[in-house]
Amino acid sequence: MPSQKVQKTRQNLLNACIQLLDQQDLSQISVTDIVEQAKVHRATFYRHFEDKYDLLNEAETEIFDEMTAAFNRYINQSDNTKIDTANFAAYRLALLHIFMQHAPFVNAMLGANGDLTFENKLYDQIYQLTQLGFKTLYQLPPSVTQKAEFIGHYAASAAFGIVRQWLKTPTNTPDEPAQLLDELTIKGVATTLNELNP
């Protein structure tokens, strides 16, 4: 694990890049811009990252790894076991805490000057985790795979939209959007998924 000093330096460089994304497009940001904003030497940057994309990729990977860890913690993927709604709610709350912890980065990357690739990857990750969660919760038969896929995109799009809007108002705690997602899933999507079972 990197030392506290290394972690601080890497976070400083990431924060500098985030600040620049508020002002200009990612394609226009250079390593020189980042080190000047961070008030460090270029050599310091290259001790930690190959280029700006490596910097952003590591931040992305950290978020996605945390999301996967949350899924593995709360969702049982056994074919013979259903998890209860409390665990699924805890899983969603854990995801919201992850997004809140990384809010400046996520907001910057989803903003007008951000990276569409990150947005697509984040949506895909949310969709995949949603699908896995639904399969675990409802153990859907293969015959309804296409319908379940549509419902998965519906749920993932709703979750993505709620998270995106919520992160614009960081004073709100994760509990409010988590409760909304619970209500939408349990009262809306969950009912539909249950009806797909024979």
Q: Which two tokens stand for residue 182?
A: 């619970």
- Same domain for 28 and 69? no
- Same domain for 43 and 109? no
Q: Are 109 and 61 in contact (CB under 8 A)?
A: no
Distance CA 17, CA 111 (A): 13
Which range of residues forms the domain containing residue 114? Answer: 57-196
- Same domain for 183 and 94? yes
Distance CA 141, CA 64 (A): 28
- Same domain for 146 and 104? yes
Domain final residue, candidates 49, 73, 89? 49
Q: Are 98 and 67 in contact (CB under 8 A)?
A: yes
What pLDDT score was predicted for residue 77? Answer: 55
Please check the confidence at residue 81 and state whether its pLDDT lies above 60. no
Under the banding of pLDDT at 50, 70 and 90, the label for residue 138 is: confident
- Same domain for 45 and 61? no
Cα-based distances in Å from 107 to 88, 112, 120, 123, 187: 25, 10, 14, 14, 29
What pLDDT score was predicted for residue 50? Answer: 97
Distance CA 129, CA 159 (A): 11
Residue 91: closest CA among 137, 32, 30, 152: 137
What pLDDT score was predicted for residue 125? Answer: 85
- Same domain for 117 and 81? yes
What pLDDT score was predicted for residue 85? Answer: 67
What pLDDT score was predicted for residue 176? Answer: 84
Please check the confidence at residue 142 and state whether its pLDDT lies above 70. no
Dmax over CA atoms of the chain, in Å, equals 64
pTM of the model: 0.81
pLDDT in tens, 83-114: 666 777 788 889 899 999 999 999 999 998 98
pLDDT in tens, 157-193: 988 998 898 988 766 788 888 877 777 766 776 675 6
- Same domain for 35 and 130? no
Percent with pLDDT over 90 in the chain: 40
- CATH number, position 27: 1.10.10.60
User: Exposure string (b/e) for 10-42, b if CB count within 10 Å is 16 or more?
Assistant: bebbbbbbbebbeeeebeebebebbbebbebee
- Same domain for 156 and 77? yes
What pLDDT score was predicted for residue 12? Answer: 97
What pLDDT score was predicted for residue 87? Answer: 76
Please check the confidence at residue 152 and state whether its pLDDT lies above 60. yes
| Residue-averaged pLDDT of the chain | 84
Distance CA 103, CA 163 (A): 10
| Number of Cβ atoms within 10 Å of the Cβ of 183 | 10
Instruction: Give the total number of structural domains in the chain.
Output: 2
- CATH number, position 102: 1.10.357
- Same domain for 167 and 98? yes
- Same domain for 70 and 107? yes
Decide which of 143 and 23 is more confident.
Answer: 23
What pLDDT score was predicted for residue 129? Answer: 77
What pLDDT score was predicted for residue 8? Answer: 95
Taking each helix axis from N to C end, the angle separating 175-183 and 145-166, rounded to the nearest 10 degrees, works out to: 160
- Same domain for 75 and 7? no
Q: Which two tokens stand for residue 115?
A: 């990276």
Distance CA 67, CA 72 (A): 9
Distance CA 19, CA 127 (A): 29
- Same domain for 64 and 41? no
pLDDT in tens, 50-66: 999 999 999 999 999 99
